[in-house]
Structure 1
């Protein structure tokens, strides 16, 4: 059962105008160097095309380039542009995308995507994919973010998409897990089943994960499965060889915080060095609080030094005034000062200004 938003969009699309006809017209600019430039002319469908209007007459040599650029006459002329907003009024597909919450500005900033989206026909290319996603339980509220992030989803064959869904079902990914994977990483649906299988196999073998832990890792951070493999291997090397986590610790670390493998290895080393040496936390404590490695080093430094100034930088659970390392990176500064440091924001701001 479609939501009211999707029903409205699909219904309206049936009566929408077809592709806006784009008729190429050539205007030859003859200057001193006799250069030729092509200008695409956008012609609305309700303006009839005359038989002799296929090609404009050559411009006289006496006509300056500036005059030609400004002399549109009675016709509409649009120089090719990457700005999709210029085509919204004449494109039903773009209008439907806006209704779904798609950020056209974000799409047009990526090379080639603006042109690709402009050529889509809502009825033929978009509507079937929306139907497919709804059948998978994807909420219409997620469509805008999904299509903004990966509009190339509409070039994928529906049978291939269904095969990739069936593969995840065979690997015992729940309905909720699949929905989270597709909404948080719509690129996943563009990976063949063979390619996804190799990726999942890599993680399972490298970290000695059970099927349950592998599904947990993939669901918590779907982007890591389709991430650049060279980067992932460098991150794993850094965690094992440079930081010294053993196999068991590493497995627990990546399952609890798989996003760590997507962080720059240099940043990971910098954060680990501060946490392990300056804050005095062991490998076991870091595994229990992987959020520390996911936090920026300067933020860790500010908060740890403030706690140290107050005499509250005590991370040993066997001693009094224990502070969980995890709470150091939780919440904003107000939350940290009031609930962790037991101080006030004015004191913390003064500390930041004088450090």
Structure 2
């Protein structure tokens, strides 16, 4: 409430309170020097008796609009103006109600986090009462702290960090509603940008999933960051455990084939049921999933067609099919055209008999997953130049999986020292497959050769 003493003797204090009001209700929580100088709605309160209520309203509203105050500030000015009108008219009935209205409008937006530092001895309620112009309830110490605070703000540089700290008395409109601002990045080149926000990705990492490898699969990263771990991922993990996959292998399975998490369990079970109908045991299926689980996301018709083609091409029995594909399931999902090309290269170009091609497939089936025109053709040319027959290759097909550079160098070295004998019936026999096996140290040790001589030879190559 305003009293005559306030109007006559406390004008400076009223001005300070209004400055604090403007600071608290400014749009950004800052009070610029310009706004302090221009806007002082109580500047003419001492002359209120000589002016009409209409002129006071007009002056206050015009001053508020010129400074660019918000609609909330204009509303509060209107409340304060009506408050002054009731004081002049002697209306004491609604004065307490109007004062509480002003106080509630202020307290709803004040951020009290910084008050403990800015006002050492005054409480928030005391400062609010001063702002509400209820000066009779404020002691001299409270008013002194308000004046000191405003004077300190005046001396600060508006562009400084301290200015922002001193004038950040308003909370963000959404802060009191507990809205989180940790929004997901809209675009990112790596799934790692979402780990901080996604519980699903965090737990997949804890399971041993390599997300850097997973993000190389098309579209799977966008799928994973939208999944709920307990609702969408856990059932798939439990299903893999039911199939016989150990916990330590789950991370590797999901890294090599994250599409398992995308396909429904019913579809995965359809593939498992098909393999069981072909007499694959549960242990075989579990090992196949760990070694190469990509077959799980294939259609049953595709798997059946692939197995039938390979069985017919290499003239395999049912037991041979189950044995080979349980150990090398990668052949099920491998491109059938590449397998046919390697078979054609052996049989039609290099003249291998069908029985010899079958023997190569049974002993070293992964050679049929290599590229026919570059890899396999180059290795066959080098072995042919070494004098290796097709029969010998069908007996020792492991040399076809070795580096052709390494095979050629070791063969040349053995030829120089007179030990290039790959016939077990001759003295000084050397295993053909050993040319592509072992490290340098182990190979020299097995051949009973000085490593220094072999390393010196490599420098002259």
Counterpart for residue 394 of structure 2 = 287
Provide the C-alpha distance between the structure 2 equivalents of 1:345 and 1:215, rounded to a whole number of angstroms: 43
Counterpart for residue 244 of structure 1 = 351
Provide the C-alpha distance between the structure 2 equivalents of 1:174 and 1:288, rounded to a whole number of angstroms: 30
Counterpart for residue 194 of structure 1 = 301
SS at match of 1:89: coil
Aligned residue among 159, 176, 182 for 2:266 = 159
Structure with more of its chain in helix, by fraction: 2
Whether the 8 Å contact between 2:364 and 2:397 is mirrored in structure 1 is: yes
Counterpart for residue 442 of structure 2 = 335
Counterpart for residue 123 of structure 1 = 230
- CA deviations 1:273-307 (Å, max 9, x no partner) are 211x2222221221121111111211110111111
Whether the 8 Å contact between 2:402 and 2:437 is mirrored in structure 1 is: no
SS at match of 1:301: helix
TM-fit CA distance, 1:89: 2.0
Q: Structure 1's 77 and 155: CA in aligned 2 closer, same or farther, altered over 3 A?
A: closer
Q: Structure 1's 243 and 120: CA in aligned 2 closer, same or farther, altered over 3 A?
A: farther
Q: Equivalent residues in 2 for 1:128-143 (5 A)?
A: 128-143=235-250
- CA deviations 1:33-55 (Å, max 9, x no partner) are xxxxxxxxxx9xx9428xxxxxx
Q: Structure 1's 309 and 168: CA in aligned 2 closer, same or farther, altered over 3 A?
A: same
Matched, 1:213 2:320: yes
Q: Structure 1's 225 and 77: CA in aligned 2 closer, same or farther, altered over 3 A?
A: closer
TM-fit CA distance, 1:77: 7.5
Q: Which has the larger radius of gyration?
A: 2
TM-fit CA distance, 1:258: 1.1
Q: Equivalent residues in 2 for 1:21-60 (5 A)?
A: 47-48=178-179
TM-fit CA distance, 1:97: 0.7
Whether the 8 Å contact between 1:84 and 1:104 is mirrored in structure 2 is: yes
Counterpart for residue 459 of structure 2 = 353
Q: Equivalent residues in 2 for 1:271-286 (5 A)?
A: 271-275=379-383, 277-286=384-393
Counterpart for residue 264 of structure 1 = 371
Aligned residue among 431, 438, 459 for 1:324 = 431
More displaced 10-residue stretch of structure 1: 238-247 or 94-103? 238-247
TM-fit CA distance, 1:79: 4.6
For structure 1, which runs of at least 5 residues remain unmatched after alignment? 1-42, 50-73
Provide the C-alpha distance between the structure 2 equivalents of 1:75 and 1:252, rounded to a whole number of angstroms: 61
Whether the 8 Å contact between 1:82 and 1:114 is mirrored in structure 2 is: no
TM-fit CA distance, 1:336: 0.9
Counterpart for residue 282 of structure 2 = 175
Whether the 8 Å contact between 1:82 and 1:115 is mirrored in structure 2 is: no
Whether the 8 Å contact between 1:243 and 1:269 is mirrored in structure 2 is: no
Matched, 1:78 2:185: yes
Counterpart for residue 33 of structure 1 = none
Provide the C-alpha distance between the structure 2 equivalents of 1:168 and 1:189, rounded to a whole number of angstroms: 10
TM-fit CA distance, 1:214: 1.1
Counterpart for residue 97 of structure 2 = none
Matched, 1:306 2:306: no
- So what's the TM-score if we normalise by structure 1? 0.76
Matched, 1:97 2:204: yes
Q: Structure 1's 165 and 75: CA in aligned 2 closer, same or farther, altered over 3 A?
A: closer
- CA deviations 1:304-346 (Å, max 9, x no partner) are 1111122111011111111111222221111111102x21222
